[in-house]
Chains A and B, each alone.
Chain A
Amino acid sequence: MMNYSLALRVAVFTAVLAPVVAGAQGAISVLGFGYPTGQLSTRALGTGGAIGEMDPLSATNPAVLGSLGGSVLYFQAEPEFRRLHVGSSSESATIARYPLITASFPVNEKLTLGLTASNLLDRTFETSTRGIATAGDTTLATSNNFKSDGAIGDLRFAASYIPVRWLKVGMGIHAIAGDNRIRNTQKFDDSTRFATLTDTATIGYTGNAYSAGFELLLGSDVSIASSYRKGGALSLKRGDTTISKAHVPDRFAISAAYIGIRGTAISVRTARDTWSRMQSLGTPALRATDSWDTSVGADVLGPKLGASNLQLRTGARWRTLPFGLATSTIDEKTISFGIGTFLGRGGRAAIDLATFRSNRTATSNSNLSETAWTLSVGLTVRP
């Protein structure tokens, strides 16, 4: 038991303390307020997100928490290896993300409570450029560095209730919080006369949202699940001063799955996020776009691996990223593969792995594109 506890503690400790980081701005996936990780678990991501609304580990549908059937702790890590293409040139980046932690606590057979911490938008990046500044009658060459660390997080407290075997309903309340720690450095080539200009600021985000969802079993072959998140007020602060106000994006999502084969789910999902509700949070130059996020995928029972069954997953996903260039939105197409199995007998711990290949393109600028391999690792333990 001690070793198990140690693993659990390491997982939770790492999740809490590790920096939540995302790609560099200067990449097309991380514009505006950042990259939306999707709040999906590794299992769901293995299917391209198609089973997202039925997946109790994901942070989307509160109704399906009850599917966990007991106390669960879940931790997810997600490194990404990305390459930005500008014309014939390219530049690579390595990003580590820890986008999801889920904990659930069954109250009784019908009621389950859960707490989920997830990244709504990652905004960690660093860019280095050369520039020209003018001071009086002097023109100066400068090296500029801009860095942002942090994210907007979504802390959800949810309750799932199972009134009848074929129906699950749930509600969640969301605290939207986080910050971007920003540092702008401007070094002048003539460093003997001009001191380095360093600006630092912490931009804080505070908001709330509510969500509700259900999962409906139609016979024993079909499952339909849907959730809706209603975004409340969202404010951006620097210190105690409110800089701007907007709203947390609403989201409507629905999944439908064929589950007529034992251990298998073949699913389709679509979601609509109203990211434009964040428009007034940024500068007038911000381009926030309401987007669709659609995926198809399958989670099938695979061969046995030792004493446990192996789940095999694959899927495809199409979505528009929320923040684009001035004249262009960013589309993302993803193909994913995943596996999952229990560790040891009895299902006390499980591991899910997924890898996905993403292509991101600017709709009106063929000169810009981005490709990425992402590895997602999810670890589930049942204390």
Chain B
Amino acid sequence: MIDRLKRSAPVAILVLLFTVMIACGEQVSGSLGCPQLCVDESASLKDTILTAAIVVDTSVFGYPSLGDSRDVTLLYQADTADVRMVVRFDALPKRYTITGAASDTAITKVDSAALMLFIDTIKVKPVTPITIEAFDVDTTAEDTLRSALVPLFRPSRLIGSKTFAAADIKDTIYLPLDNNQVYAKIRDTLRLRIGLRVTGSSGVRMRVLASQVNPRVRFRVSSDTLVKPDTVFPASSTPATDSYISTALTAFPVYAAGYLGQPPIGRVVIGGLAGARAFYKFDIPKTVLDSVQVIRASLLFNQLPARSTARTNDALTLFTQPVLSAPIVTDIRTAITFIGSPYSYGVDSVRLVAKDSGTKRIELVNLLRFWRAVGDSNSVRAIVLRAGEEGALGGEINFSSLEAAAALRPRLRITYVPRRGFGLP
């Protein structure tokens, strides 16, 4: 009997394998018979505008924060915008070594001194000639203050200047420095703190990279070509008690003009020289999030022309980032530090021009679905609007705020499908 069963089993298995193969190759999808043979289960869409869904809106300034980025866009637009930069070289060498020599030698001269700058020509592409001026901005005063620094950009402190044609500004440029001035700093063991300013036609600008690559000072200490040029990298010795801040201050911007503070009542601003971010907090009725399926959620804004005249042609990419802090965090600036990536929450960016006006919208449907999933006990329902070119472009996007006339306030437009029974033949 066992032999018989052994003979039977392979046949049985083959039959089963055959039927399983058929099942794997199954194709049950069809459309030819529709609509005669199909049930129309498409949903009826409802549309409404929630005018009270936003309960808080405000602008917060100063981004990117000190230390987050050392890249600076130098900008000159007469009295309306003037952004300068300071690069600190607080550790200058006093001696050099000739290759193969038994001992080093004191620096007694400086030749061919130049400031080497790395330029971002992708975000900001120069189109007109630019004059770059370098000033000695070392001072014993509180030299992170605009009021202390701006007066130091004066002719008596000029240590270098050169005009570059737009075509000559590529990824690296060399700005000649006064050899004697540099040598004097070395000789007297002083700090070399260079203030940079661009001038030229109105609106001229240039973006200097100082985060991933560093500006540097190069000079020769000998006419002997066997002696390699010396290179000095940025370093900041102050404040001596906080290494994070001192590192952040190796290169930082100075806003001589155009740094605007809080906007007037009725406006929320994003971007600009002041690096503004907009914070919006929502109070969406539970019935909206829990009882219906939201398929579109458009945050509607009334854009106003930028309040300043600086860089109004700039187009900014606005990113919508959800605030991830717990509701217990009530300080807005603190809450803004906990923001999620827009890409992780399926919120698309929008591109707006600073001078434009009219109704604009940001789609939030995926974020609303996320909020519904996580509930409101552990997560605040708020977003931050941030310019992708924060700190890089001077343009500022202005929206009407909750204090504006009712018709101009931000509002949430919802398209939804009520919960429904379906699927019965």
A19 near B12 with CB under 8 A, answer no
Interface segment out of the listed B28-36, B109-117, B128-136, B191-199: B28-36
A93 near B27 with CB under 8 A, answer yes
B29 near A344 with CB under 8 A, answer no
A129 near B26 with CB under 8 A, answer no
Interface residues as binary, B398-413 with A (CB distance below 8 Å gives 1, 0 otherwise): 0000000000000001
Q: Which of A175-206 contact B (CB under 8 A)?
A: 180, 182, 184, 186, 188, 192-199, 201, 203
Residues of A within 8 A of B20 (CB): 14, 18
Q: Which of B13, B29, B298 is the one whose CB lies under 8 Å from A126? A: B29
A29 to chain B, nearest CB (A): 10
Residues of B within 8 A of A22 (CB): 28
A368 near B33 with CB under 8 A, answer yes
Residues of A within 8 A of B424 (CB): 203, 236, 243-244, 282-283, 286
B361 to chain A, nearest CB (A): 8
For chain B, the count of residues having a C-beta within 8 Å of the partner chain is 60
Interface segment out of the listed A48-56, A140-148, A257-265, A312-320: A140-148
Residues of A within 8 A of B1 (CB): 346, 348
Of all chain B residues, the one with the shortest Cβ separation from A98 is B19
Interface residues as binary, B5-22 with A (CB distance below 8 Å gives 1, 0 otherwise): 111111111011011101
Residues of B within 8 A of A125 (CB): 28, 30
Q: Which of A47-66 contact B (CB under 8 A)?
A: none
Residues of B within 8 A of A134 (CB): 45
Q: Which of B85-122 contact A (CB under 8 A)?
A: none
Interface segment out of the listed A2-10, A221-229, A296-304: A2-10
A277 to B27, CA, bound (A): 32
Interface residues as binary, A262-290 with B (CB distance below 8 Å gives 1, 0 otherwise): 00000000000000000000110110000
B366 sits at the interface (CB 8 A) = yes
B348 near A96 with CB under 8 A, answer no
B26 near A195 with CB under 8 A, answer no
B42 near A144 with CB under 8 A, answer yes
Given contacts A18-B20, A25-B37, A349-B5, contact A182 B298 (CB under 8 A): no
Residues of B within 8 A of A184 (CB): 41, 43, 422-423
A148 to B363, CA, bound (A): 32
A184 to B421, CA, bound (A): 11
Of all chain A residues, the one with the shortest Cβ separation from B297 is A195
Q: Which of A7, A77, A94, A351 has the most CB of B within 10 A?
A: A7
A95 to B11, CA, bound (A): 23
B369 sits at the interface (CB 8 A) = yes
Q: Which of A4, A135, A182 is the one whose CB lies under 8 Å from B296? A: A135
Of all chain B residues, the one with the shortest Cβ separation from A23 is B28
A192 to B13, CA, bound (A): 50
A282 near B32 with CB under 8 A, answer no
Q: Which of A124, A194, A381 is the one whose CB lies under 8 Å from B415? A: A194
A351 near B35 with CB under 8 A, answer no
A95 to B23, CA, bound (A): 7
Q: Which of A25, A93, A243 is the one whose CB lies under 8 Å from B39? A: A25
Of all chain A residues, the one with the shortest Cβ separation from B4 is A344
A201 near B30 with CB under 8 A, answer no
B423 near A283 with CB under 8 A, answer no
Given contacts A194-B365, A199-B422, contact A26 B41 (CB under 8 A): no
A70 sits at the interface (CB 8 A) = no
Interface segment out of the listed A82-90, A102-110, A164-172, A331-339: A82-90
Residues of A within 8 A of B (CB): 1, 3-4, 6-8, 10-11, 14, 18-19, 21-28, 31-33, 77, 79, 84, 86, 89-96, 98, 123-129, 131, 133-136, 142, 144, 146, 148, 180, 182, 184, 186, 188, 192-199, 201, 203, 236, 238, 243-244, 282-283, 285-286, 323, 325, 343-346, 348-349, 351, 365, 368, 375, 377, 379, 381
A27-B33, A79-B19, A194-B415 known; 13 new pairs, CB 8 Å cut-off, are A1-B2, A10-B12, A18-B23, A84-B33, A93-B27, A131-B42, A184-B41, A193-B365, A195-B294, A199-B43, A199-B422, A343-B7, A344-B3
Chosen A-B contacts, 11 in total, with CB atoms closer than 8 Å, are A3-B5, A10-B16, A28-B33, A77-B15, A127-B29, A144-B42, A146-B41, A184-B43, A184-B422, A192-B363, A196-B295
